[in-house]
Amino acid sequence: MSLTAEQILAAQKANVETLFGLTSKAFEGVEKLVELNVTASKAALSEAAGHTQAVLGVKDAQELLALQASLFQPLAEKTAAYSRHLYDIASSTGAEFGKAFEAKTAEAQKAFVGLVDNAAKNAPAGSETAVAVMKSAVAAANNAFESVQKAVKQATDVAEANFNAVATTAVNAAKTTTAKKR
């Protein structure tokens, strides 16, 4: 099976479209990240100004300690929320890249299987055993690749669950610490 100029051009066009699509997704992720950081910076600046005003209005040391203690819980919650949002941006951008990779891999597998089938049809008589071995190897490679994809998906799900658990634990610890200081 030989490739024609049209097939090569079509493949190149598809690859360029995929590249530009992925580049667009990467920029969308960067835009979301910049927006998140600008929003967080504005909020931090506003909160710092409010905290400074509150500290300037403190009348005694006990009131200052209570004010400081009241800042820990919201700070932990905001940090956890920022981390969750950051994780969401990274995982959604990564998922887009994963989908594109899986699609391209599926196309390549399909083309390779077609090539093997075409070669098998045109194989000389008596080469049935070699063709069967080749088909078996291709099937085994495809199965192994699918297993790896499933394992990566499971690992990603476990990592996300662990991240959420750690974030929740941190917020709860901050709440407990703040409650004890009051």
User: What ranges do the domains of the chain cover?
Assistant: 5-181
pLDDT value of position 182: 54
Whether this prediction's pTM lies above 0.75 is answered by no
- Residues 2 and 152: their CA atoms lie apart, in Å, by 35
* pLDDT one digit per residue (tens) for the chain, 182 residues: 456 788 788 888 888 888 888 899 999 999 999 999 999 999 999 988 988 898 888 898 888 888 887 877 788 788 888 988 998 898 888 888 888 888 888 888 787 777 777 777 777 777 778 777 877 887 888 788 788 878 877 887 787 777 777 777 766 776 666 566 55
pLDDT mean across residues, the chain? 82
